[in-house]
Amino acid sequence: MGVKNLWDVLESCKKTLPLHYLQNKRVCVDLSCWMVPLQNVNKSQCPVTSKQYLMGLFHRIRALIALNCSLIFVTDGSIPAIKLATYRRWLNLGIEATQDGANSQKLSSLRRNMGSEFSCMIKEAKYLGSAFGIPCLDGIEEAEAQCALLNLESLCDGCFSSDSDIFLFGARTVYRDICLGEGGHVVCYEMNDIEQKIGFGRSSLISLALLLGSDYSQGVRGLGLESACQIVKSVGDNHILRKIVSEGLTFARKKKNPKRQGQVKCNNTETTLSSEVNMNGDIQIPQTDNQYSHVVEAYMNPKCHSADSEVVHRSLVQRPFQREQLQQICARFFEWPPEKTDEYLLPKIAERDLRRFAHLRSTSSQLDVNIPLKEVPVKCPVSAIIKRRTVRGRECFEVTWEEFYGVKSSVVSADLVESACPEKIKEFDDRRALEKKNQRKSRPKKSGKECSVAEIDWKLQDLLLDIELGSKSSSMASREIISDKMTTATEINFMNRDPLVILDSEGNADSRAATLCRETGVTVTKHEVIDLSSPSPLVHSRNVSRCAQMNNQHISIIDLSDSETEKSPEHFCR
């Protein structure tokens, strides 16, 4: 839960960042905050025995591993004594919870039920994480408090948690939600943004928890969100806790209702907070039976493993993933064969190592240490580049990996390859250029005499014409002189060719007329009979043949129109 309505207060500081923002980062995960939504999805779609929640965790880990995002699972320990009232209120225990809340300082923390259904889900998640090489840190009490401590001590770059009170424990960077797939992103909140945009520091957020209510306090009844924010801002982050220590929450009730004076009730117990302030201005919370002091103490000094403890140091050590163990887990929970598990996982492991290699070279370059690829002490995961690819509009390379990864090839971002091994890209480009050069050399040379398209078309037309005529000859170059029944001949010179059109008395001139018309563009009606006894039409003569020019002869062109009056330019050869 965290602080009531605190995410609404922090809405203006929310940032949606692309998923690759997490690359090369170390992130703590409040494991229960990941498993609760996965459990809800599992219940809404299928029974718990299907382990759908575990498959969702598998794909989430797989996606982050490919980004070289190192995870640390943090689990809850015992329930803090101050939280027992809230915990039992969740279980609807009513009056008993209220009485425990009044005497919570006298109670010890409560050990969680490790046999519950949710606790079993946490165990399975830890088991899966260990196969991926993810360390797990069991918290003393609150998991979000342990995550916040690691982040505050700069032992991790951020925390995954949906509990808003993680800021009250001291976290600086919090990832509330994560989305995978196309357009994958994380929802991020930075404490620097909260301080600059809203003006709330850690002390102000603790004050809001006291005013609005949280896991550790019920808040001031009837006090709204805006009023609580105005009260905290009016006092200021540097003085708000000191004022609460000295006056309790009486000043808040006065601002809410000036007519009513008196003390504020918290957990049905009238309390007034006193405090001592040392010379440095730090608040010294006295050890008294005061509910407010215990709330502030619980947030400021939660029970956690210290940053220099051996437990924390072990959780920061990177571990290799256990391939066989992961295959067994997937076979047990998902009924996957080993090949399917390898298909999902091995390319991501190779991509993770490539990012580590790129990070190594980038760090070396920043230190002005430029080491050639072959001299880098760590071997480059990429063996060679096969070809370029475009995936969802992004430039990528299909690469082959070194043999020890157990995967032949996969597709990775071109930017990643460029940052990790630009030498491989140069080798690929040089190899492609050489292949293209060899292809050009191996092409057969064209013959010296090349026919133009027009000439080829003309030859094809001649061939088709010979087929139609049933001629055995494939060339139209020779000219035939046909029988003595010929009465009139017309010779036409066209494109240095002189085919004869022979008209016999029976009008069998179809074939050669077709040739003449094809070459001259004249249309002739089939089986047209020419009456040679009729008067001759007007003669249009011209020199059309080289033979005729040599003999000074004029060749007459016969008008093939039906009558003298139907003279059209179409009936004259030009």
pLDDT tens for each residue of 199-250: 999 999 999 999 999 988 888 888 888 989 999 998 888 888 888 877 777 7
How far apart (Å, rounded) are the C-alpha atoms in residues 426 and 217?
63
Task: List the one residue out of 397, 419, 423, 427 whose CA is nearest residue 409.
Answer: 397
Tell me the percentage of the chain whose pLDDT exceeds 70.
66
Q: Mean pLDDT for the chain?
A: 76
Q: What is the mean pLDDT of residues 76-92?
A: 79
Residue 365, strand partner residues = none
CB of 314 closer than 8 Å to CB of 135: yes
Tokens at 400, concatenated: 């082959």
Over residues 25-52, the pLDDT tens digits come to: 999 999 999 999 888 876 665 555 578 8
Over residues 150-203, the pLDDT tens digits come to: 999 999 999 999 999 999 999 999 999 999 988 899 999 999 999 999 999 999
Alpha carbon 150 to its chain centroid, in Å, reads: 30
Q: Is the pTM of this model over 0.85?
A: no
CA–CA distances in Å: residue 385 to residues 57, 281, 423, 438, 549: 32, 62, 11, 20, 74
* Beta pairing, strands 486-491 & 500-504: antiparallel
How far apart (Å, rounded) are the C-alpha atoms in residues 537 and 560?
10
In the block, which residue shows the tokens 């230190």? 367
pLDDT, greater one: 352 or 557: 352
Over residues 133-147, the pLDDT tens digits come to: 999 999 999 999 999
- Beta strand segments in 297-443, E: 382-391, 394-401, 409-413
pLDDT, greater one: 492 or 468: 468
How far apart (Å, rounded) are the C-alpha atoms in residues 261 and 511?
125
Tokens at 461, concatenated: 């037309």
pLDDT at 436 over 90: no
pLDDT, greater one: 326 or 530: 326
Over residues 362-380, the pLDDT tens digits come to: 999 889 888 899 889 899 9
Task: List the one residue out of 216, 211, 214 whose CA is nearest residue 85.
Answer: 216
pLDDT at 519 over 60: no
Question: What band does 495 get if pLDDT is binned at 50, 70 and 90?
Answer: very low
How far apart (Å, rounded) are the C-alpha atoms in residues 159 and 171?
8
In the block, which residue shows the tokens 């990775």? 412
Over residues 399-410, the pLDDT tens digits come to: 999 988 888 899
Q: Which amino acid is at 357?
A: F
Angle, helices 323-333 vs 338-366, to 10°: value is: 140
CB of 363 closer than 8 Å to CB of 371: no
Residue 276, strand partner residues = 284
Q: Which pLDDT belongs to residue 293?
A: 83
Q: Which pLDDT belongs to residue 254?
A: 59
Q: What is the mean pLDDT of residues 81-100?
A: 62
Question: What band does 351 get if pLDDT is binned at 50, 70 and 90?
Answer: very high
Over residues 240-274, the pLDDT tens digits come to: 888 887 777 776 665 555 444 333 333 333 333 33
In the block, which residue shows the tokens 């006298």? 106
Angle, helices 31-45 vs 143-152, to 10°: value is: 140
Q: Which pLDDT belongs to residue 557?
A: 46
Q: What is the mean pLDDT of residues 92-116?
A: 56
How far apart (Å, rounded) are the C-alpha atoms in residues 331 and 338?
7
- CA angle, 288 then 203 then 227, to 5°: 100
